């Protein structure tokens, strides 16, 4: 240690600075406006054109016809890369990106989200 004065000077300066890190688990992070997080499906808008299924680069989306103008959307979050290509390509805006990003889980079966037309009155999903 050739310059102990320089080190002491830096220690004293850092005592009065605001911390550069955030206390994430305790204070939730605010995501930007156009953040591409977990997908949400609006079955009342879906026309069953399957463009989202064709445009998905990983094949994470499947759409099944339940009845006339009623569709079920299954999104496999283990395959989704959150590129939002399906959101951009949907002509009726039946898919949207949310700001939800805390999606980790221990049970792989809970990462397949199924949106049914019957249970999605308020765009709620069953997992």
Residue at 127 is within a domain? yes
Q: pLDDT for 42-67, tens place per residue? A: 999 999 999 999 999 999 999 999 98
DSSP letter for each residue of 48-98: ---HHHHH-TT--EEEEEEETTEEEEEEETTT-----HHHHH-TT--EEE-
pLDDT of residue 121: 47
Residue at 38 is within a domain? yes
Residue at 8 is within a domain? no
Residue at 20 is within a domain? no
Residue at 122 is within a domain? yes
Residues 6, 9, 15, 19, CA torsion sign: negative
**pLDDT category of residue 1 using cuts at 50, 70 and 90:** low
What is the count of structural domains for the chain? Answer: 1
Residue at 11 is within a domain? no
Range of the domain at 121: 32-127
| Selection from 39, 35, 13 nearest residue 93 by Cα | 39
Residue at 27 is within a domain? no
99: CATH:
3.30.70.3270
Judge whether 23 and 71 are in contact, CB under 8 Å: no
């Amino acid at each position: 240690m050739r310059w102990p004065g320089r080190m002491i000077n830096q220690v004293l300066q850092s005592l009065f600075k605001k911390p550069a890190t955030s206390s994430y688990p305790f204070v939730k992070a605010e995501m930007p406006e156009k953040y591409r997080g977990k997908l949400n499906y609006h079955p009342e808008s879906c026309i069953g054109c399957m463009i989202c299924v064709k445009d998905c680069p990983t094949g994470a989306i499947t759409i099944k016809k339940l009845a006339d103008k009623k569709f079920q959307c299954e999104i496999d979050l283990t395959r989704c890369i959150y590129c939002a290509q399906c959101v951009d390509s949907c002509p009726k805006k039946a898919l949207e990106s949310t700001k939800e990003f805390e999606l980790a889980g221990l049970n792989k079966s809970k990462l397949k989200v199924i949106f049914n037309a019957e249970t999605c009155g308020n765009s709620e999903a069953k997992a």
